[in-house]
Amino acid sequence: MTRTMERTKAIFDTIDRLETEMVEFTRGMLKVPAIAPESGGAGELDKAEWIVNKVSGWGFDRIERYDAPDDRVPSGRRPNVLLRLKGSMPELPSLWTFVHLDVVPPGDMSKWSSDPFSLRIEGEKLIARGVEDNGQDLVAALFAAKALMMNGLHPEMDVNIFLVADEEVGSEKGIVHVTREHPELFRKDDLFIVPDAGVADGSMIEVSEKSIAWLKVRTIGKEVHGSVPNKGINANLAAMRFMVAMNDELEKRYPAEDPLYDHVRSSFSPTKREANVLNINTIPGEDVSYMDSRILPCYDPDEVFEHIKKRAKDFEKEHGVTIEVSKVQFARSAPPTPADHPVVSILGSAIEEVYGVKASPMGIGGGTCAAFLRREGYPAVVWGKLEDTAHQPNEYALVQNYIGDAKVFASVFMHRAGAGRPT
């Protein structure tokens, strides 16, 4: 057995032995809710401090905070925590792994079979809010680093694990704050991994994302008693017709397909609706609906937005209502990371070594932190071996994915400069 193989085996064996500790770390971490103020939470500070307290004795060379001010949370700040293993060759590009601290609210509690913030184990399943998104790869990255340190091994390049805030509602207090306020941390030739999307066999390395357009559609009519609908203007009815028409028309207007993406076309989906009237026998005079659009990079999202506003004017004349279309979240697709970039090949080699699958570069419709990195000119990829239960009731992750992903990260962390595989 070569020295390289011996090191790899030692690290992987250590990760296997750490399984129980990883599960208990996850249990304690997820007891601490980390929900954004927009969703009624107090932010991520308690969770960040819990993690730092746990890992402070592991041997990281650097643990620093890059907090963003936020007067909407009790602490007045949103935490972004950097943990670094210094490499033996500082002239090399650095490796950055970004994982997010925040989770979405549990939603309808009646659909959960247990407390969302108390880890439940069913065979190989770990069940709790945030256990997959982004708990799986947050824990996997930390324990990959711990396995290296336990074996007295040091990477050649600096290895950085960044725990960021605010990913679930826009990232302004997280990765956007970090990259804009602290650009001195990064170099354009660094390697960036965001483990926040993936498929069940681990065979997708995401290199591109569609433009995102979340739109609010406010329709104003005239409220009247349900027995005399002719005396009113039914905002509810007009809004439903408008939203359905937009879904159908926009798909025809923007028909391009791109096989790089998991869903090959653009999508324009009516989603959330706000409550209008509380009783059945009233014709609503106002309706507020939302559309989630994911637009291929070949189309200009601003042109799409302007077209929707133009069509709203047509519906106003047809139905006698007023329709206001506004942006909720609007993000143009970032330049893709080249499929032949070193970070793709390094990660691909590690995935094949651990999981035995050849991962392919692909695009997705979902938005991740990687889009903000790419807009700043940093080549980022997204990966994870995930069951795709994020944001669902009874969200779960598999223990073997925690272990396997930790081995993938360890393999990437120990990548040897100039070599095609890890040391």
What is the pTM assigned to this prediction? 0.86
Task: Say if residue 257's pLDDT is above 50.
Answer: yes
* Span(s) in the chain for CATH 3.30.70.360: 211-331
- Residue 22 clears pLDDT 90, i.e. is over it: yes
Q: Which residue has the tokens 């000119």?
A: 377
Whether 331 shows a pLDDT value over 90: the answer reads no
Task: Give 211-331's CATH code, choosing from 3.30.70.360, 3.30.565.10, 2.60.40.1930, 3.90.1170.30.
Answer: 3.30.70.360
Catalytic residue list:
102, 167
385/205 Cα distance (integer angstroms): 10
Q: What is the pLDDT of residue 1?
A: 67
Mean pLDDT of 132-146: 98
Find all residues with CB under 8 Å of 409, minimum gap 6, and list them: 97, 137, 140, 141, 144, 145, 195, 350
Question: Please, which pLDDT band fits residue 146 given cuts at 50, 70 and 90?
Answer: very high
Question: Percentage of the chain surpassing pLDDT 90?
Answer: 93
- Superfamily for the 3-208+335-413 domain: Zn peptidases (3.40.630.10)
pLDDT digits (tens, 9 = 90+) for 24-64: 999 999 999 999 999 999 999 999 999 999 999 999 999 99
Q: Tens of pLDDT along 355-384?
A: 999 999 999 987 788 999 999 999 999 999
Helix axes 342-355, 399-413, angle to 10 degrees: 130
